Every structure is written in structure tokens, then in C-alpha cells.
Amino acid sequence: MAERKRAAITAVGHYLPENRLTNADLEEMVETNDEWIRTRTGIEERRILKDDDKASAFMGSEAAKEVLEQRGLSGEDIDVIVFATVTPDYLFPATACLVQKEIGASNAYAFDLSAACSGFLFALTTGANFIESGRAQKVLVIGADKMSSIIDYTDRSTCILFGDGAGAVLLEPSGNENGIIDYIHRSEGDTNLSLYQPAGGSLNPASEQTVADRLHYAKQDGRTVFKKATVGMADVSAEILKDNDLTADDVDWLVPHQANLRIIDATANRMGLDNEKVMVNIDKYGNTTAATIPLCLYDWKDKLDEGDNLILAAFGGGYTWGSIYVKWGGK
């Protein structure tokens, strides 16, 4: 049997809005304080896209342009665009199609993927499958969310958590043993709707009443989601180590979804990892949903060496969760 092609991450790009929303700013908006936020979440500030005429497509396009520049490519070189988001510019067309036009990717087909905070992981393995099958040579995977567009800044249970941002990676055939090695993805239908946006979909379309009742904002049962996420991310990360005969010593970096520092710590502890092997930037950006993992890869890209073993892990609404084993490099 022919050896399966591997998809390698060959470039990483990002976009972050300039405007910062600090914990001190939130103290003026809701009943909270800096110490409470930092000790319970690890967040000190988050970025907010203030421009009324810009949203997820803009941020994703900027991150994609940086990827193309890094690799010396034009948009016409891209075969597929997979865009992970829960804050699309429109319900349709797909935000990926807006990016495709903006970057001049005239030869690519493009689509969105919705898996909440696990969106980038699910999009990454979807893109990798195109590479592994030989159907594509260059796949652009983007995670971007303008969470400020669906956050109620009178609800202290959610407004302290989220920020805006985008990250993007390019997938290409590896050419060696590096690349995406293995993944585990899981879902469990959250019929109790512990984390969701009540209105705006086909079940509860927009109306004067839904707007008056503030149902177009994200709602969360924080305690329930925290418990699920802590167990889910830790379990699946330990499982992917076992499946690939890896120990903590073999792991160079844990790249966790940046939802809560306590969830990140629980995952690292379950894997037996020291803190210096864990990528953490939640203090600067908060939870940018589908953008957290590629933003980590961007911030650490200059510290990554060829052949480094990375474990990517996330948990999101749905529920959705998963982990990916990546051996860095390959192009």
C-alpha cells in the first residue's frame, strides 16, 4: 500500500484589531474587577474590531494575505479555502467566498465550517484530507471571529471572555515525515443549549421581540461548559498521546484553545507537561473562538523547529472537541 501523503503547515498569518478592551475598561461597564477576571480566566485584555464596515471576512482576508506573502504566492495558487467561524459576515454567502474574492483566489472553491471553538481544528483536518487525497496542493485554512458582534456587554458572564481576531495557515504536501500525523474529533449534541445564540437561525428568526429580548447575543451556562471543557480537552489530549505512543517528554508544545487558563492548565497537567511547553496568549487576546489556535501558532512560529511535536487541542459549543498531532515542518 502506498504511504499516505501528509499535509504540512507551511505558513502562518494573523490579524488583530488595534483597539484593546482591558479589564479596567470592563470595570466601567459591568459589575466585575480586574483581579476576579484574571484569577478565574487568565485574561487581561482582548482586541475589539470597532469598524462598522469590517467583520470576519476582513480579518480572515488580512491573515490570508500574510500567509501568501510568507510563501511568495498569489491568490491564484490556492486550490481550496476552508473558513472556520461562528460569526460569518452573512448567513450566506459563505464568508470564505468573500475572502476568495478579496485575495484573488480565482481558482479556489471556498466554504465555511461551523464548530465553535473547535472550528479551526475541524477545518485543519478537513483541509488536510484534501492534501492527503491528492485533490489539492495548496489549502488555505482560516479561523476568524468577530465575537464582539454577538456579545452582550451588559452580561458579565460572557463579555469578559471574548475578543476578535483571525489566524490562517497554508497546507501543502509535506514531502517528508513531518506534517499532520493524527487527529481525534468528537461531538456531543448539547440539547440543553449550555452555550448558544438563541435567535437568528431558522428556528427563531429575527423579530422585534427577539431583538427586545436580547436573544441575538451568545448565552452560556459557564459552570456546565467549564466542567465539560476541562474533562473533554484533557481526555482527548491524553488519548492522542497514547494512540501515537508518545510521552510528555516527546511533546515539544501543547497548542490549546484559549478559553480559560484553568482549562489549559488541567489539560497540560493531564498530559504531564511543564508550563514552559504550553502556548498561552489568552492574557492578551481573550477567547477569539476559531482564531485562538492559529494565533498561538503565529505568536510562537519563530520558536518552532523542524520536527517539533505539537499537540493541538480544543473544546467548543456543540459540544465539539478534539486534538491533532502535528510534526512541525515539511516543506
Give the CA count within 13 Å in the CB-facing half-sphere of 143.
30
Residue 290 amino acid letter? A
Other Cβ atoms within 10 Å of 27 Cβ, number:
14
User: Which residue bears the cell 477569539?
Assistant: 288
Give the CA count within 13 Å in the CB-facing half-sphere of 141.
33
Nearest partner of 80 among 115, 50, 107, judged by Cα: 107
Nearest partner of 59 among 112, 105, 14, 114, judged by Cα: 14
Query: In what helix (H) or strand (E) does residue 144 lie, and over which residues does it extend?
Result: strand 139-146
Residue 79 amino acid letter? D
Q: Compute CA distances 15 → 63, 67, 151, 154, 229, whole Å.
A: 5, 11, 20, 27, 26
Pairing of strands 195-196, 179-187: unpaired
80 contacts 140 by C-beta, under 8 angstroms: yes
Is the sign of the CA dihedral 310, 158, 162, 204 positive or negative? Answer: positive
Pairing of strands 179-187, 320-327: antiparallel
Supply the residues annotated as catalytic. Answer: 117, 257, 287
What DSSP line would sit under 78-109, residue for residue?
--EEEEE-SS-SSSSS-HHHHHHHHTT-TT-E
SS3 169: strand
CA distance 315 to 331: 29
